[in-house]
Amino acid sequence: MTAHGKAEGGEDAGAADAADVAAALRGDRAAQRALYDRHRPAVHRLARGFPALDADDAEDVVQDAFVRAFASLARLEQPARFGGWLLTIARNRAITRIARGRARSQLAEDLGREAEALGTAEAEAPDPEAGAELELVRRVVDELPDGPEKETVRLFYLEGQLTAREIAARLGVGKSAITMRLERFRAKVKRRLLAEVARLRGEES
């Protein structure tokens, strides 16, 4: 028996969650929908509570949180606490998304400073998420030999879903190793940018 529908109150909601989690684990899609409908407002409020996330980012966090929660449902030890568990997942996804945006912004700022150092005041600071700048990053990644460094930067800059700590856990190495790989990659991108700028200046002279 499931508890499809809206449940009000702490104990009632917990009992409804427990019943729907059990049903969802048996493949009951209506139970999944009930969990989604019951908890989506709270997850959305949490995501919108992060000033660094716009409306689209917040919606992505909501969807990502539910996808991850349903994929990991069998590991939930206390089904009656589904709501709190889900909010923890959503909070972690929001923090990861913000950290990813800051990392990309930092790379853009670093590259912009390198361009300015060559006297290219009119050059715009590259944004790794935009057009030609993203293509530059992709080219540098593609030129890396297959191996740990290439996989690290692909996950961090191109996949854009994992923090350095999460990548370290996935690849089975320490976080410091991931940080060093990312630093080496940033240096390579900077050198490529400098070469591109120098080439353009040579063509203009």
Fold of 126-204: Arc Repressor Mutant, subunit A (1.10.10)
**DSSP string for residues in 45-99:** HHHHT-TT--HHHHHHHHHHHHHHHHHTGGG-S-GGGHHHHHHHHHHHHHHHHHH
Distance CA 48, CA 44 (A): 6
Instruction: Note the pLDDT of residue 124.
Output: 40
Among residues of the chain, what percentage have pLDDT more than 90?
28
Q: What angle do CA 165, 168, 174 make, to 5 degrees?
A: 100
Q: What is the DSSP letter of 123?
A: S
Segment 75-114, tens digit of pLDDT: 999 999 999 999 999 999 888 888 766 655 555 555 555 4
Distance CA 194, CA 204 (A): 15
Closest among 72, 64, 9, 75 to 40, alpha carbons compared: 64
Contacts 24+ apart (CB under 8 A), 99-105: 99/163, 100/160, 100/161, 100/163, 101/52, 103/156, 103/157, 104/128, 104/129, 104/157, 104/160
Residues 6+ apart with CB under 8 A from 156: 103, 162, 164, 167, 178, 182
Name the most confidently modeled range: 55-64, 92-101, 118-127, 159-168.
55-64
Instruction: Note the pLDDT of residue 200.
Output: 57
Q: Token digits for 178?
A: 């991931």
Instruction: Note the pLDDT of residue 160.
Output: 63
Contact 129, 108 (CB under 8 A): no
Fold of 10-96: Rna Polymerase Sigma Factor; Chain: A (1.10.1740)
Q: What angle do CA 139, 143, 146 make, to 5 degrees?
A: 130
Domain boundaries of the chain, sorted by first residue = 10-96, 126-204
The answer to whether 10-96 and 126-204 have equal CATH topology is: no
pLDDT at 32 > cutoff 90: yes
Instruction: Note the pLDDT of residue 114.
Output: 47
pLDDT at 120 > cutoff 70: no
pLDDT at 180 > cutoff 50: yes
